Amino acid sequence: MYIHFSLVAPSIRPHLWERFCNSLLSSKLNWEVIFVGPFPPISQLPSNFRWIEATCKPSQCTHIGFMEAKGEIISLTADDTIYFSPNENNSIDNMYNFIKNYKGSEFLNPLKLAYGFRMFEDDFCAETSLTHYINFVSEPKTTPLLYPYFAIYRDFYSELGGYDSRFITGQAENDLQLRIAYHYGNSKGTLCSTAMVWAQHSSHDNKGKFREYHAQDSATLKKLWRNQEGFHIRTNEELRPYNYDSSIYKVSQGEKGEWI
């Protein structure tokens, strides 16, 4: 069966997975959900849900999910998320149609861009605030908008070399999107306003070691994109990719990090 859309995330909160999957059931597309990590499902989930057991760090788990995905489009997600839309289509239907029909600029290749869901984080709209710009580059409004929930073509992810192994829990997605923006085109025009996600952090404890590594990963991101002269555009030669062998499920490569 042809799969249009793959949603990928580390497995963190199994008690929320049924709610997550239920928000996708109205989709007309063929989709799959892949959660990767040490925590298995605790309830019966749709047949197009996959859990992959892994005991490595969270960013590596996401990379595993992207590499094992079968969808034409792959998208970063989180298991505390609900997908919704202002029209009769499902959020991922709207995103897929948006990507397939995206024209953009004649100078941009639509196959090599990052596309964004409109994200609501508890009580505010995240992607319209300055919290998702990288403000160490220059003035925030002149830098690429980095989507907390991005979608790209699966083949493009492999072409990019995937996630950098230096990240632990987060910021690998921002590094990936910066590489896309500066080498293939700015993604500010690729936000799909009718593809919506609601990250309900208030419904669980959003603390623990998963969040404690945020500052370290942010420092790594800043270091990779700055040098003594200031802003530095990373080349693919500077990437430290994962070695995709049988040990990738059990041994954290690059920087090490605990789950919780």
pLDDT tens digit sequence for 215-258: 899 899 988 988 777 778 888 899 999 999 989 999 999 998 87
Report if residue 106 sits inside a domain.
yes
pLDDT number for residue 236: 84
Structural domain of residue 69, as residue ranges?
5-240
pLDDT tens digit sequence for 42-85: 999 999 999 999 999 999 999 999 999 999 999 999 999 999 99
How far apart are alpha carbons 138 and 225 in whole angstroms? 12
What is residue 35's three-state secondary structure?
strand
Q: Which two tokens stand for residue 64?
A: 């595993």
Report if residue 249 sits inside a domain.
no
Choose between 107 and 205: higher pLDDT.
107
Q: Which two tokens stand for residue 19?
A: 């709610």
Q: Give me the CATH number covering residue 81.
A: 3.90.550.10
Report if residue 250 sits inside a domain.
no
Report if residue 14 sits inside a domain.
yes
Choose between 135 and 167: higher pLDDT.
167
Report if residue 255 sits inside a domain.
no
Q: Which of 222, 148, 133 is nearest to 186 (CA)?
A: 133
- Give residues with Cβ within 8 angstroms of 2, minimum separation 6: 30, 72
pLDDT number for residue 110: 94
Split into its structural domains, the chain has a count of: 1
Rounded to the nearest 10 degrees, the angle between the axes of helix 172-184 and helix 214-225 is: 20
- Pairing outcome for strands 115-121 and 124-125: antiparallel
Question: Any idea what the Cα angle at residue 18 is, between residues 14 and 20, rounded to 5°?
Answer: 90
Report if residue 104 sits inside a domain.
yes
Residue owning tokens 């003035």: 139
Report if residue 131 sits inside a domain.
yes
pLDDT number for residue 131: 47
pLDDT number for residue 132: 53
Report if residue 254 sits inside a domain.
no
Q: Which two tokens stand for residue 194?
A: 């009718």
pLDDT tens digit sequence for 101-159: 998 888 899 999 999 999 888 666 665 554 455 555 554 455 677 888 999 999 999 99
